[in-house]
Structure 1
Amino acid sequence: MERILTVTNSPKVTKHKKTALYVLLIYILMQISSRWLLLPFHKLVMKMTGLASEQAAPITQGWYIALSFAVALILSFILTSRDKAFWNVYQGKKETIPLTIVWGILGFFLVFFGQMIGAAIEMAVFGIEGGSQNTADIVAIAKGAPIAILAIVVFGPILEEFVFRRVIFGSLVQTTNFWVAAIVSAIFFAIIHFDFSHILLYTICGLIFAFLYHKTKRIWTSIIAHVMLNGFVTLVQFYAEPLQKFLQELEKMQ
Structure 2
Amino acid sequence: MERILTVNNSQKINKHKKTALYVLLIYILMQISGILLAKPFHKLVMSTTGLPSEQAAPLTQGWYIALSFAIALILSLILTSRDKAFWDIYQGKKETIPLSIMWGIIGFFLVFFGQMIGAAIEMAIFGIQGGSQNTADIVSIAQGAPIAILAIVVFGPILEEFVFRRVIFGSLVQTTNFWIAGIVSAIFFALIHFDFSHILLYTICGLIFAFLYHKTKRIWTSIIAHVMLNGFVTLVQLYAEPLQKFLEQLEKMQ
CA distance in 1, matches of 2:97, 2:119: 33
| Alpha carbons of structure 1 residues 2 and 224: separation in structure 2 relative to 1, 3 Å | farther
User: What displacement does 1:219 show?
Assistant: 0.2
Query: Does the aligned pair in 2 maintain the 1:212–1:221 contact within 8 Å?
Result: yes
Q: What CA distance in whole angstroms lies between the structure 1 residues aligned with 2:17 and 2:40?
A: 35
- SS state at 1:47 partner: helix
Shift of 1:8: 5.4
Question: 1:2: how far off?
Answer: 4.9
2: CA distance, partners of 1:20 / 1:154: 21
Find out whether 1:234 has 2:234 as its counterpart.
Answer: yes
Equivalent position of 2:223 in the other structure: 223
- Distance in structure 2 (CA, Å) of the matches to 1:2 and 1:62: 45
Alignment of 1:1-254 (within 5 A): 2-6=2-6, 10-254=10-254
1:230, CA displacement in angstroms?
0.2
State the identity as a percent: 88
TM-score normalised by length of structure 2: 0.98
Give the AA of the match of 2:228.
Answer: M
Amino acid in structure 2 at the alignment position of 1:88: D
Deviates more, 1:140-149 or 1:9-18: 9-18
Any unmatched runs of 5+ in structure 1? none
Take 2:116 and 2:77, find their aligned partners in 1: how far apart are those partners?
A: 33
Task: Tell me how many residue pairs correspond in the alignment.
Answer: 254
CA distance in 1: counterparts of 2:27 and 2:168, whole angstroms? 12
Shift of residue 6 of structure 1? Answer: 2.4
C-alpha distance in 2 between matches for 1:102 and 1:2: 25
Deviation string 1:122-169 (CA, Å, 9 cap, x unpaired) is 000011111100000001000110000000000000000000000000
CA distances 1:31-66 after superposition (whole Å, capped 9, x unpaired): 000000011000010111111111100000000000
Unaligned runs of 5+ in 2: none
State the superposition RMSD in angstroms. Answer: 1.0
- Letter of the 1:194 partner, please give it: F
Q: What's the TM-score, normalizing by structure 1?
A: 0.98
Per-residue deviation, 1:251: 2.0
- Mapped to 1, the partners of 2:3 and 2:74 lie a distance apart of 31
Task: Give the letter aligned to residue 100 of structure 2.
Answer: T
